[in-house]
Structure 1
């Protein structure tokens, strides 16, 4: 099978580029209900970040996390992986945060990479609820929110994941 010029040029590059993929633009996703949040969570599975990548603006009532997410949208079929794997820096913003609680490593552990497993929402009264960022290592971030109002936006060009492999979760 003969490679097209585009395919040939892609194979000769070491870094992934937006123009090399079918995704012409950075991912932008908004969640306003639990169904949306499930979709958003799937894009964020196995995203990694450091404690210093978390920002809480009480005045704006926003929680922002700058993270490195796996580009799951490029995976061919469920159960089949595309390697090498790409990651992209993305910004997760959770709005309408009334209160924030977290269980994260202390200051000595601030350079420990945190891995996001899932976003979960537990409804409360009058549309409020607890939006939780479930992290590996029994760490968590819990935001009491007025409503589900979250955004995910890619902010850099994709890059090859250092491991080049799909994240795994051995039992």
Structure 2
């Protein structure tokens, strides 16, 4: 059986970001694995991604946004660094072209909003995959 290669994706526009969003649906992370470096204008999130392309597996991956001017969160407590959150989707809200806001929508109603100069995102798998007994499910 052929195993899919590690994911390495770049997003430079809203359509590209939609592809990355689909790859990250149901990824889990902790609050402590979300890092904004204001001086570098970079937001980095490491997650355990469910491998929809190889069901029954997860892999550690990194998502990095460049050109980030500010980050705001709602219903995500920064001091709860070990709290686990599940990413449902990434989206882009256009602003003054080519900028806008990349929105991370988490289960339970939390979100993270990164104001960006433009869409500049990279997603990369960082580890070998491992088996997981649980397949994410969604209520209709």
Same fold (TM over 0.5): yes
Structure 1 consecutive aligned stretches of length 4 or more whose deviation exceeds 4 Å? none
The match for 1:143 is 114
Instruction: Report which of the two structures shows the higher radius of gyration computed on alpha carbons.
Output: 1
Q: Specify the alignment match of 2:77 in structure 1.
A: 105
What does residue 123 of structure 1 align with?
A: 94
**CA distance in 1 between partners of 2:123 and 2:97 (Å):** 25
Query: Where does residue 32 of structure 1 map in the other structure?
Result: 12
Alignment RMSD, CA only?
A: 1.4
Shift of 1:46: 0.2
Gaps of 5+ in 1: 1-6, 8-20, 75-81
After superposition, the C-alpha distances for 1:103-130 in whole angstroms (9 at most, x for unaligned) are 20352x4322100000010100121101
Q: Which residue of 2 aligns with 1:71?
A: 51
Give, in whole Å, the separation in 1 of the partners of 2:35 and 2:78.
Answer: 16
User: Which protein is richer in helix relative to its size?
Assistant: 1
Alpha-carbon separation, structure 2, partners of 1:153 and 1:44: 11
Q: Which residue of 2 aligns with 1:165?
A: 134
Worse-matched range after superposition: 40-49 or 96-105? 96-105
Q: 1:169 to 1:64 in 2, by over 3 A?
A: same
Q: Which residue of 2 aligns with 1:50?
A: 30
Length, aligned pairs only:
139
Aligned partner of 1:78 in structure 2 is none
**More strand as a share of residues:** 2
**TM-score in terms of structure 1 length:** 0.77
Matched, 1:22 2:26: no
